Amino acid sequence: DAGITQSPRYKITETGRQVTLMCHQTWSHSYMFWYRQDLGHGLRLIYYSAAADITDKGEVPDGYVVSRSKTENFPLTLESATRSQTSVYFCASSEDRRQPQHFGDGTRLSIL
């Protein structure tokens, strides 16, 4: 039982391209989250979702789009990638907003 999986694990692309990072969880958790992690900043919340069709901005949402048409999936799209979006992206899920979050193993994204 993988729990929460992210794909791809690694991605290299060019500035201006659209990139979609996938996240899938099998726990039927209501909440799902996207974070980016950069040296000196720790984990920063990009977007989160409390349930299907409900999404909300986090700390650093600019340049990103999310959707949640199904409870188990929460894709993150960079509509026009910039070099500043080079980072490690983690997806996470939790049963409710007070419970600890469980993380996928991350996507390492490089934008050239």
Partner 1 sequence: RKEVEQDPGPFNVPEGATVAFNCTYSNSASQSFFWYRQDCRKEPKLLMSVYSSGNEDGRFTAQVDKSSKYISLFIRDSQPSDSATYLCVVNMNYGGATNKLIFGTGTLLAVQP
Summarize as ranges the residues that interact with partner 1 (CB under 8 A): 35, 40-43, 45, 48, 58, 90, 94, 97-106
CB of 16 to partner 1, least distance (A): 28
Based on CB atoms, which residue is closest to partner 1, 20 or 44?
Answer: 44
Euclidean distance between CA atoms 67 and 30, whole angstroms:
14
Distance CA 8, CA 12 (A): 10
Nearer to partner 1 by Cβ, of 3 and 16: the residue is 3
Residue placing its CB nearer to partner 1 in the complex, 42 or 62 = 42
Shortest distance in whole angstroms from residue 46 CB to partner 1: 12
Which amino acid appears at position 49 of this protein?
A: S
Shortest Å distance, C-beta 36 to partner 1: 12
- Nearer to partner 1 (CB atom), residue 17 or residue 97: 97
Please report how close the Cβ of residue 80 comes to partner 1 at its closest, in angstroms: 27
